[in-house]
Structure 1
Amino acid sequence: MIRLRFAVILGMLVASLPAQAAQCGGDFRTFVTSISREAAAQGISQGVIDAALGGVTQDQGVLAFDRRQRGTFKKSFEDYVATRVGPGRIKTGLAMMQRHASLLSRIEREFGVPPQILVAIWGLETDFGAGDMGKLPVFRVLATMAHDCRRTDLFQGELLAALKIVQRGDLGLRDMIGAYAGEIGQTQFLPSSYIKYGVDYDGNGHVDLRHSVPDVLASTANLLKTNGWRAGGGYDEGSANFEAMREWNRAVVYRKTIAYFADRLAQGH
């Protein structure tokens, strides 16, 4: 799902922009020095800054991938859903619904988002945490994209948010591994969304969207609730809840796929 999702992420970035953006382009190390000063001004410790950005390098592969993204969601719904929701994924999704029934019920009571929607998103993004969460160092990806002048303010915001994740102790540097836009964890949160919507639902003092299933599912529900999800409402195209899922993914075909998968899970087959 990582490669498919990247094409619309650029349109949904909602990071808080730095008060004074570092100058993009030019010498990469000069840029890193500038964004490091901005991070320090926002309260990030020098130790975290040095550990995350001290030896960071540009990733030309990330830039090449970004430049060739075109038309990912141009398939019809029928063609797209056939590649995303098959018998194996439905079977595993039903097993996850049963395994985490108590947790999902608690989350629904608190956030109003039904289990089948959360499990559908979880399955589509990373095969319920067992699939590909990305293999790229988040700080290398985000520093590369922030240095590139096409969307520097947006990615500078994501880079600063990623530093805050480490500063808060939610994830260590070794766990800051993600996809081509810096998405992290089992439901692929951008760093700014991690900060904004992340919930410590297992009560251990940290929001861990890589390893903690309670945190993953509750944070996903919190994102939807915060963006207008209505408890007890439907989620077909045209509904308020279908629109609330726009914060998750703006592509209509992807949101229709979430709804279709969720319906299959709710029906039990």
Structure 2
Amino acid sequence: MEIIDPHLHLFDLEQGNYDWLKPENPPAWPDKDQIRKNYSESDLNLPDRMTLAGFVHIEAGFDNEQPWRELKWLAENCTLPYRSVAFADLTSKRFKQQLQHLLKYESLVGIRYILDDQALAFFDNKTCLTNLQLLQQQGLIFEAQFSLEDQNAVTKFTEILEQTPDLKVVINHAGLPSSLSQEWMDSITALAHHPHCYVKCSGWEMPERKWTVESVKPYINFIIRQFGLPRVMLASNFPVSELSCSYTELWQRYSKEMKLKGFEKELLLHDTAQQLYGL
């Protein structure tokens, strides 16, 4: 079976900055030093009878001042089919200038700007709306990473989506749920009404290193019920996922323990990512 991993990171500590990996900077994970090393395509080992048909590389803090350097590094070091989601400062009036540099690279499909606790302030910022409208004009994807339990931010976000009806949005890491809360479920339901909004299910290791398929299935199943299979993807978040299990084991969990039917596997592990990211 062929899979496409729609959310992973590769590191080159000699070439990039990766400030978030430094022990003095957040996140304050006590085991963060375990992933403070180089990662390349050769580390993406899948179970038997599974083939990596391609991947989407998500910005990893390589160089936030000159984010195109990461895309250049990827072009020089990747041999598998891939697409890249780059960093660009959506709060900055320099965003258009950064985007012009990034558009020189064929791999570019979208922009990620981690919102976290600043999500409401971000969505209230008129500069951000202008820059999201620019993304829409360019046909690029906005990768949104923030907690969907923040209902004020989600309400503001849905207002923005109504003003940018053709903007493709991908919610990262299932909206970072801390529990199967009413707030999170209401947000998933609200965002599902926007036809160009997708969800990537990944990042389970960040709140819980010892996650199991049984512990995350309620989230995945609820997302599928609201969004439908064609707008949901299973992803790794490699190498952060290594804090819980190997790349091989992660895809074994998805492909075997989830007990998915054939067409469900094809959509969740390959087809939706292939279509959305143009792989």
Please report the TM-score for the alignment, with normalisation by the length of structure 2: 0.24
Higher normalized contact order (CA 8 Å, seq sep 6+, divided by chain length):
1
Which structure features the higher share of strand residues?
2
Please report the TM-score for the alignment, with normalisation by the length of structure 1: 0.25
